[in-house]
A and B are shown apart, each in its own frame.
Chain A
Amino acid sequence: MQESIVIKNLRKTYRMSKKQRQIEGTDNLVKVAVDGISFTTYKGEIFGLLGPNGAGKTTTLRCVATLIKPDSGEIFVEGINVKDEVDIKKRIAFLTNELKLEKMFTPNYLFDYFSSFYGIDSETAKKRKKFLFEKFGIDRFAEVKIGELSSGMQQKTSLAISLVNDPDVIIFDEPTNGLDVITAKTVTDFLLDLRNQGKSIIISTHIMNLVEKICDRVGFILNGKLVHTDSVRNVLETNPGKDIEDVFFDIYNEVNHEKH
């Protein structure tokens, strides 16, 4: 299989404010969010980063998306170092439910606006818009202001607009978080479609069931460290009678036991 994202010894720390130190109950000035993570994802697969809140999933994905810079380590996307920010951003889509759209504009306006930065010719952009808007059922609302759309429709618009550049790599932070069941199903079905088209997809989630349903491989992440990586099939086959959630807690208990 062809490599897509290659992460080597990624480390990222944050400086903590006094208030954060009080909340965390520590005197340390620095919090290690990601501590020497290495893994590779491949084209035509969905890789899931599974872990509890604060484990380092979002930080890892933000580093890949060039939103933040690693303290150390290397990241390559499609063979390009993430230091080449602009080149990387042309090839990826970073999606999260926290990414909002300006409420005063319409999906039509925003799609055209975002596509104008990717150097896509107008005919291709038009076709892409038609395809994505139909796929997510936005076409009927294309001229309605974002602020007047339902939250599910806003999320689908955000998703469609993030895919304006037909990216090779899709990075999705908590893809179904905050979505109603119907929108969540539309999103997961679309991710499977993209995977089948040979795209590389990496998602972060704390929903075990989602990993089992759509991911080809999974990485368990705890306290900023990647503690186990394997294909979902292997995880289930080597732990008969257990689902992903059971395996995750086995690993979690093992790590915590070692720690104490």
Chain B
Amino acid sequence: MRNIKGIFKKEIDKVFKFPRTIFTTLLLPGFIIFIVYFAIGQAVGSSLKKVQEHESIIYLIEAPQSFYDAAEVARNIPEFGKFTFQEKNLNDLDALKDEIKEGKADAVVVFDADFDNKISGNQKPQVRIYYDESFNNSSVALNRIQTILEIQKDDYLRDMEIDPNIFAYVGESVYEEDRSDGTFLAMILPILILSFIFSSAMGIGTDAIAGEKERGTLAKLLLLPIARNDIIIGKILSTTVLTILSALSSFLGIIASLPFLKTLFAMDGGTMEISYSAGDVLLLLGILVLLAALASTLLLLASTIARTVKEASAFATPLFIAVMVLPMMTMFSDKSSVSRGVYLIPIYNFIIVLKDLLSFNLDIVNYLLTAGSSLVVITALVLVLVKLFKSEKILYTQ
């Protein structure tokens, strides 16, 4: 253990003893992420400002006077936004829906005929709002209509001493394409986490052995009076720890940029009130550690086989591409379509589990399957590395 600690210490010192490597390995990834997301947040914020300033074109069918009255109240609310109404006929509803799909109008509100009288007669009338969720202007129009309807309930019905819940309104999107039910965070974070971990491991792992071969410093290590297993295990541990630290830096970059991304989450209908429990965070940490260990062992494998860092990077590139493509394939997948067997597929299982975890859909059995199968794969890779590290052909290719 003392020998592994010795090997580990030097690898860690390679980063922590020098301000330049501390900056490039630990601070820069987080800083870049912060800058990128800050820029995205600013851009989205500016785009949302335009949406808020847009004057909503709302078609009304059989709208009662009480709705118009409520709309006048809403119009006087500061920053409520502008809107105009156009009265239409129920017979044209299909054509009006098409206009919404084309972006010519933002919403259609259909009231039951003789709405106010039905309320007076306790007949429970209905309101239907047609909008297109794929247009931000249409989603904003929906919010404005819902607010006016709430005002209508509060101001009009209460004055008449009628139960405000006598009428209900339902929103119906005219957008036809299937959409994922996952949150934005669950869709995007697995991609980010995987890319942070693998890109961090790429720099550190490829240099750890191939770099030493290239610089002629590996033989000096092999001459130390310690078992070769200790050398390779020390390298695996140090690469894993540095990968985690580097990935955490990227993670902190995201956390720091969250306030600037607020608008981005809000646009998707999500919420900024992300309340993961301590248990969720621990499970996430467990996944991060396992993922970092898997990435480190895979990249050390490339580094051991290669003669130079350049060659190691070339070996690792297909792996890196696969890792980037896999999460995109799962972005819009539905949890119910994933069978238990999938949680045994290395790397892919991490993506699915991360998605489950971040969207509060985690099944602990699937988590354990992922963790267990990953430990088996990592152990197998460590054994291969130990064997390769004893091969003269591999070590003395220089």
State whether B227 touches A15 (Cβ < 8 A): no
The answer to the question of B387 belonging to the interface, with a C-beta cut-off of 8 Å to chain A, is: no
State whether B215 touches A103 (Cβ < 8 A): yes
A-B pairs under 8 A by CB, number: 61
Contacts of A87 in B (CB 8 A): 225
Contacts of B227 in A (CB 8 A): 85-86
Contacts of A165 in B (CB 8 A): 225
Contacts of A104 in B (CB 8 A): 14, 17-18
Contacts of B14 in A (CB 8 A): 102, 104
The answer to the question of A206 belonging to the interface, with a C-beta cut-off of 8 Å to chain B, is: no
State whether B223 touches A98 (Cβ < 8 A): no
A68-B392, A104-B14, A104-B18 known; A117-B216 Cβ under 8 A: no
In this complex, the interface size class of chain B, counting residues with CB under 8 Å from chain A, is 20 to 34
A101-B217, A104-B14 known; A89-B223 Cβ under 8 A: yes
A67-B222, A67-B223, A113-B6 known; A15-B392 Cβ under 8 A: no
Selected from B9, B220, B225, B392, the residue in CB contact (under 8 A) with A118 is: B225
State whether B6 touches A65 (Cβ < 8 A): no
The answer to the question of B226 belonging to the interface, with a C-beta cut-off of 8 Å to chain A, is: yes
The answer to the question of A181 belonging to the interface, with a C-beta cut-off of 8 Å to chain B, is: no
Quick one: which of B196-222 are within 8 Å of A by CB? 215-217, 219-220, 222
State whether B3 touches A117 (Cβ < 8 A): yes
Quick one: which of A79-118 are within 8 Å of B by CB? 85-87, 89-90, 94, 96, 98-105, 109, 113-114, 116-118
Using a Cβ–Cβ cut-off of 8 Å, how many residues does chain A contribute to the interface with B?
A: 30
A69-B392, A113-B6, A117-B3 known; A102-B224 Cβ under 8 A: no
Quick one: which of A31-72 are within 8 Å of B by CB? 65, 67-69
State whether A99 touches B225 (Cβ < 8 A): no
State whether B396 touches A68 (Cβ < 8 A): yes
State whether B392 touches A99 (Cβ < 8 A): no
Contacts of B219 in A (CB 8 A): 67, 96, 98-99
Selected from A68, A85, A100, A109, the residue in CB contact (under 8 A) with B217 is: A100
Contacts of A158 in B (CB 8 A): 220
Contacts of A162 in B (CB 8 A): 223
For residue A171, which residue of chain B has the nearest CB? B223
The answer to the question of B179 belonging to the interface, with a C-beta cut-off of 8 Å to chain A, is: no
The answer to the question of B50 belonging to the interface, with a C-beta cut-off of 8 Å to chain A, is: no
For residue A15, which residue of chain B has the nearest CB? B393
Cα distance, A57 to B184, chains bound together (Å): 65
State whether B225 touches A86 (Cβ < 8 A): yes
Contacts of B9 in A (CB 8 A): 113
State whether B217 touches A94 (Cβ < 8 A): no
State whether B393 touches A94 (Cβ < 8 A): no
Cα distance, A68 to B217, chains bound together (Å): 17
State whether B6 touches A94 (Cβ < 8 A): no
Cα distance, A85 to B10, chains bound together (Å): 23
7 closest A-B pairs by CB: A100-B216, A89-B225, A90-B225, A117-B224, A86-B225, A68-B392, A99-B220
